[in-house]
Structure 1
Amino acid sequence: MNRKTTSVALGSLAVTAALIGGAASAAAEVPAPGLAGIRPLGMGNAFIAAADDRNALYYNPAMLFAVKGTSISGLGVQARLDEAFNEVVNFINEHEQQFEDFDTIDATFYEELAPFDNKWVTAGASAYVDMVRPGMGFGVYSSGSGSLKIDRGVYEPRVSSKVIDDIVATAGAAMPLGRADITAGASVKSIWRRSSDRVLTAREVADFDPNDILSELEQADSGFSMDFGAAWQRPESRWTAAAVVRDAFGYIDGEPIDTALDLGGAFRPVRNAGVVREILFAADARDVFGGESLAQAMRLGVEVRFPRLAFRGGFHQGYSSLGASFRVPILSLDYAWYGQELGAFPGAERQNLHALEMRLGF
């Protein structure tokens, strides 16, 4: 692939994506729904141009052309846990007396609070069923997460919580454009979101009833969005370039969803060399008009695949990631450890998470 060809391909992808999703740089307040795969997360979540399995439906519909054969997920489940989540929960339980009686809060309380002060911790779970084959796919997933934060406050400590539960039905398709080796794809998403957002003072924590959050989650807001993707790959080439506009025309309960333009590239230097099935390098630039720093926007990853095993590594928002997979007929297991940035700039608020996925299907 020479420099001129590469420039033309990348330029075509960028123009196509920009024409389809001119609103990609528009500011929005509603977070976008999504189903992040554990395989991609292990390699820095760099998958816009690397998707070659069922994850293409959720990362870039244009990459559905790269899917080999038919994949049916009878049931897939994921779990994600912040390394510090249990520590924060234990802190609240161990200091139950202080939360019940504000006058008992002393210097020791604040010293033990310091490692968690004003930092979000998260736990989440997802479940999905889907069917993907070359050029098309559809699926339904539920993705929920709960976040917790304690801060010392001005006059007394506060506990903040956020709960978001999305149910999304999606379908996508891809087709070649017949010129310049470009494939275009699109997907539609119907969204139902339930959410709860609370801030409690230390005095209020003791009287808090979890049923209050459950009652808030009984009401769901509906929404809709579309993804538009493009991918470039010459026949027999080891290079792939891709772009996707995520959540174009999207809304939830009348509020616009945060739309983003993502770019990606992938290179497969080794295929079917002895016991090594494939070596994959990938790089993404996420939400290129979103105003984030380069470190936060970049995703870098590498994967080495064997017949039953795969190992991964990468960088996600400037933090390292590791992953591994084990696959046998009907069952696949994926694990990832990765860091992500919750603050406004790199290093502001790092969060480390463990993630596990089990999929039954073929």
Structure 2
Amino acid sequence: MYISVCGLFMRECCFLRFFILQLLFGANLFAAELFEYNRPIRALGMGNVYLNFVRDTDAPTINPAALGYVSGISVELANLGLGINGIDAYNNFKNSQGVSSSSDYDQFFGKKIWVGLNGKVSMVMPNFGLTAYDEGKFSMILRNTAFPNIDMDFFNDIGFVVAGAFPVAPLTSMGVALKRINRWGGSQSVGLSTIASGSTDTLKNEFENKGVGYGGDLALMTKLPTPLSPSFSLVWQDIGSTAFVKTAGNDAPIRIKDNLQAGFGMVLDLPGLDISGGVEYKHINDSGIQIGKKIHTGLEIGLPLIDLRAGTNQGYMTYGVGFSFLFLSFDAAYYNVETGEYPGQTPENRVLLGLSIDLSVDANFNFYSKDGKKRKLKQRR
């Protein structure tokens, strides 16, 4: 059943590659942003702090060691998300006029649009998980009034992940994830005439670089059975970096750099109220990144049916909300990323919305939830 659902998902989500290329054009190039792949909207709403609070179905791509604490079976039938540089895009284009001549493009110089789309299906059980995903991002900026050109970034990843976990010490789990990724895209400077022609095929021809890559993640997680349930995680994603072998185009797509990260979290579990908080230090092994862009803090207050989230991401506040009932979940997040070299230099905002369908059963194959919501991490007692 899972294979058939996954196959249908992969075919249907091919629309991402074509939809992104037909979006409106606008502005700023994806610069020095620390973009992390497969980040759930819930995580981004709470400062991108997630290693110790991962939902079961996110564990294969975020923290495979968390699979060692799963006690039931979860099948995520669909997880769809859409993001845009919301407030920036509105301010940049609210007064835009139609384009009837080349001079009309002047109104778009120096303005930006960023769009992200993602889809995912996943299945997890104790110590094992599978995930298939399709993720795309796109940004554009119109530069140089004398000789106009558009700098564009476009990436679309279709990946499959298999992950497992096993105990290595009392209260400690080790996780391993292996993945195969088909990547399409790159960075190009496109002449204004190409955009003005209105030809989707001509625009697609600018992004013919495709490749396939294989990578792996390694993780450790410890949870203490004490008040506040403190937990510690160490995750090394894309060990040694995930490089791509060219399958089409002139060059292979750029590699995914490895990311060593550590996190600490605590959870206060009360009747009708959960309070989760933590801190994470990312990109530990990259000395070229300012420390202010590496530190993340997050907080989530879980109430019946609704979750409220806040945190700090790369020096900026983040906010999020989630609504869950039975097998449906809706998540929204507002956050900023730093596209410059250090926090406070060149912030860029993002607004993301997502909807997921998740079926969870316990060891006796009974559907289960807490206060009408599915649990974030069904732990063995």
**Superposition TM-score, scaled by structure 1 size:** 0.79
One-letter amino acid of the structure 2 residue matched with residue 132 of structure 1: V
Q: Counterparts of 1:328-343 in structure 2 under 5 Å?
A: 328-343=325-340
Unmatched runs of 5 consecutive residues or more in structure 2: 1-31, 247-253, 360-381
One-letter amino acid of the structure 2 residue matched with residue 286 of structure 1: K
CA distance in 2, matches of 1:94, 1:152: 20
Say whether 1:292 aligns with 2:295: no
* Number of the residue aligned with 1:281: 277
CA distance in 1, matches of 2:35, 2:122: 20
Pick from 122, 143, 166 the counterpart of residue 151 of structure 1.
143
Residues 66 and 97 of structure 1: CA distance in aligned 2, closer, same or farther (over 3 Å): same
Report Cα offsets for 1:133-167 as digits up to 9, x if no partner: 232211100001111112346x3343211111100
Report Cα offsets for 1:261-307 as digits up to 9, x if no partner: 11111011x21x2321x110011111012121222101110001123
CA distance in 2, matches of 1:256, 1:43: 27
CA distance in 1, matches of 2:207, 2:194: 20
Pick from 288, 305, 314 the counterpart of residue 317 of structure 1.
314
* Number of the residue aligned with 2:235: 244
Tell whether the 8 Å contact from 2:186 to 2:209 is kept in structure 1 after alignment.
Answer: no
Residues 52 and 124 of structure 1: CA distance in aligned 2, closer, same or farther (over 3 Å): closer
Q: Counterparts of 1:131-210 in structure 2 under 5 Å?
A: 131-152=123-144, 155-179=146-170, 181-202=171-192, 205-207=195-197, 209-210=199-200
Say whether 1:43 aligns with 2:46: yes
One-letter amino acid of the structure 2 residue matched with residue 160 of structure 1: D
Report Cα offsets for 1:10-54 as digits up to 9, x if no partner: xxxxxxxxxxxxxxxxxxx9x987211011111011112232432
CA distance in 1, matches of 2:99, 2:306: 46
Report Cα offsets for 1:230-261 as digits up to 9, x if no partner: 11223346111111111014211276531121
Residues 257 and 196 of structure 1: CA distance in aligned 2, closer, same or farther (over 3 Å): closer
Residues 184 and 144 of structure 1: CA distance in aligned 2, closer, same or farther (over 3 Å): same
Question: What SS is found at the alignment partner of 1:161?
Answer: strand
Number of equivalenced pairs: 316
Give 1:90 shift.
Answer: 6.7
Residues 347 and 95 of structure 1: CA distance in aligned 2, closer, same or farther (over 3 Å): farther
* Number of the residue aligned with 1:85: 89
Tell whether the 8 Å contact from 2:185 to 2:208 is kept in structure 1 after alignment.
Answer: no
Give 1:168 shift.
Answer: 0.4
CA distance in 1, matches of 2:212, 2:355: 28
* Number of the residue aligned with 2:260: 261
Identical pairs, percent: 22
* Number of the residue aligned with 2:341: 344
Tell whether the 8 Å contact from 1:341 to 1:349 is kept in structure 2 after alignment.
Answer: yes
CA distance in 1, matches of 2:151, 2:91: 16
Q: Counterparts of 1:104-119 in structure 2 under 5 Å?
A: 109=106, 117=110
* Number of the residue aligned with 1:126: 118
Q: RMSD of the alignment, in Å?
A: 2.6
Report Cα offsets for 1:294-332 as digits up to 9, x if no partner: 221011100011231111000111111111111112211
One-letter amino acid of the structure 1 residue matched with residue 285 of structure 2: F
Tell whether the 8 Å contact from 1:52 to 1:66 is kept in structure 2 after alignment.
Answer: no
* Number of the residue aligned with 2:70: 67
Tell whether the 8 Å contact from 2:213 to 2:243 is kept in structure 1 after alignment.
Answer: yes
CA distance in 2, matches of 1:296, 1:81: 21
